[in-house]
Structure 1
């Protein structure tokens, strides 16, 4: 065994007896100074250069030893915490987080993992104040589902950098939203291409809260129907306490297709249609917004407007990374294009 290999082997064995690798351990294994290791890991380039071979050796040593930086010490030196607070998670009546929020957080965490930022969830004052800022220091905020000026005002008062995903923002923040109106147009265009002319838009009253998607999807339906010179069905400006009423009204108006605000409502509509003797899709085609469980597992599988949560999260992470270090953000308001996923619930109408 060579002398250098023996030293490396000895360093690893010595470190294995410790509970946690240190910067000095990485330096010893690599054969460079601790300050060089620190500069490599923090990406310093100003007044500092290192050979690619040494840089790679440092990174290999970090992986070999399982070294993790002391974030508390780093925060004290840099005046930053490296923490992004997540505000505004939505819950159903059983206390389960909405699938859309779970997807956003997952992809946001994956994207931020490439930086020195981590996520934490802040419950605030509960559901009554989902946009209250944390009591501990954070570098910025990722805000979900902000719907009103009051929500934005709370965020603005914090004076922290923030990005709003699937919701509104104030003048000091940025927003990344789905082009919901375009989603409605894509759905209507698809149904028209199949030969449907009497297309209803339905939404439960539980979704009539103030989220901007409510009006955007409805208006998108109106604009798309008018662009095809098709009549609006009476359901377009109605909200229903019971999905059964919406399906009944659509049937009485001889509709052959439904565009539904959410996948939850679409599944209930499909079940009730069967109950009254309608076949889906033979008698009634259905398109819904949201492409997550269980739309791919229903019978028939639902045609859906998929919302690009991964793309939204990646964009938001880039905005946050810039905002935290006070770099200018290219755009304050970004609309992301949805995708039409055609499955089994839409076919050519029987009549």
Structure 2
């Protein structure tokens, strides 16, 4: 690294503060025998110098390498599958996996340095919206990053793991078209999310291939949440030409649509067919069981762990983007379009 970008040392911070290295060490270790004004000054300079504590040295006892799997929202059925795969891979590779939820209030520099100070070998960010500041902070801290289904598409090249979202969206819509549906709507997540865009493009490609119209009101975006399915479904049912089928961008949205249909007295699949995406554990437990596109979520978590370890070891990865195959799983929430 250039001299101007080298990691600051305790001596660097101590010299700037006009105190001893021992005093800076006491502040880092949370000791109480430091004057409040001195503590405040040292903490400010640690932040200013972007100080990162060196990883703890291994003692005689074995210490597992640790990877952090971080979310920026509450965990759900999708998250659980990712974590399960990551933990299983960690167990196989003798690596500890720590799961965390980061709040937007976290200071970017302190957040990245804290991960390194805690001994993390790499970070796996799941369905996160990454800013240029976050990416720069991780780069300065020399902490490898792997992203699973990012909610935005960073301009800086980022190693990511996902699935064949376009192919999944295409398969879901083709299934509905094969059942005779032509008035098919799409309820997706964030419009800026790369995975959502790919699923939407797959839907549009299938519709265009048979000349089926896609009115603007048939495409709605929101979040990958149950309530978005409830609200989105209700809005679609208020249209003059209501859809006979809905492709939902995730299983949670699909379950919300099921509830909106129930509230309107619509029968699924007799009056409305629904296809989800993910095939989380809630899909077969829905009523009726949900037709959905299966993502290999556990394998995605496992691949992310293996990739993160390779990056941490200084190895080159074959591709900065890994896409695992999706598969349509047909259950009872889809049926041929009613002739009524």
TM-score by length of 2: 0.70
Q: Structure 1 residues 128 and 237 mapped into 2: Cα distance closer, same or farther (>3 Å)?
A: farther
- List runs of 5+ in structure 2 lacking aligned partners: 1-54, 223-227
- Residue 247 of structure 1 corresponds to 236
- Residue 215 of structure 1 corresponds to 197
1:109 corresponds, among 84, 87, 99, to 87
Kindly tell me the number of residue pairs found equivalent between the two proteins.
270
Q: Does the residue aligned with 1:113 lie in a helix, a strand or coil?
A: helix
Cα drift, residue 170 of structure 1: 7.0
Between the aligned partners of 1:154 and 1:236, the Cα distance in structure 2 is: 40
Q: Deviations over 1:107-128 (max 9, x none)?
A: 111112222321123455x344
Cα drift, residue 244 of structure 1: 4.5
1:120-131 to 2 correspondences below 5 Å: 120-124=98-102, 126-129=103-106
Who wins on radius of gyration, i.e. which is larger? 1
2:213 corresponds, among 216, 231, 242, to 231
Does the Cα contact within 8 Å between 1:147 and 1:210 map onto a contact in 2?
Answer: no
- Residue 142 of structure 1 corresponds to 124
Cα drift, residue 208 of structure 1: 2.8
Cα drift, residue 154 of structure 1: 4.0
Q: Does the residue aligned with 2:254 lie in a helix, a strand or coil?
A: helix
- Residue 166 of structure 1 corresponds to 149
Q: Structure 1 residues 73 and 218 mapped into 2: Cα distance closer, same or farther (>3 Å)?
A: closer
Q: Structure 1 residues 103 and 244 mapped into 2: Cα distance closer, same or farther (>3 Å)?
A: closer
Between the aligned partners of 1:214 and 1:130, the Cα distance in structure 2 is: 28
Relative to structure 2, which stretch is displaced further, 318-327 or 184-193? Answer: 318-327
1:44-63 to 2 correspondences below 5 Å: none
Cα drift, residue 243 of structure 1: 2.8
- Residue 269 of structure 1 corresponds to 257
2:162 corresponds, among 177, 182, 204, to 177
- Residue 75 of structure 1 corresponds to 58
- Residue 3 of structure 1 corresponds to none
1:319 corresponds, among 286, 298, 307, to 307
Does the Cα contact within 8 Å between 1:161 and 1:172 map onto a contact in 2?
Answer: no
- List runs of 5+ in structure 1 lacking aligned partners: 1-71, 92-96
Cα drift, residue 228 of structure 1: 2.2
Cα drift, residue 222 of structure 1: 1.4
Between the aligned partners of 1:193 and 1:343, the Cα distance in structure 2 is: 15
1:193 corresponds, among 178, 182, 204, to 178
- Residue 24 of structure 2 corresponds to none
Q: Structure 1 residues 154 and 212 mapped into 2: Cα distance closer, same or farther (>3 Å)?
A: farther
CA RMSD of aligned residues (A): 3.0
Q: Structure 1 residues 210 and 155 mapped into 2: Cα distance closer, same or farther (>3 Å)?
A: farther
Cα drift, residue 264 of structure 1: 2.4
Higher relative CO (Cα under 8 Å, sequence separation at least 6) belongs to: 2
TM-score by length of 1: 0.68
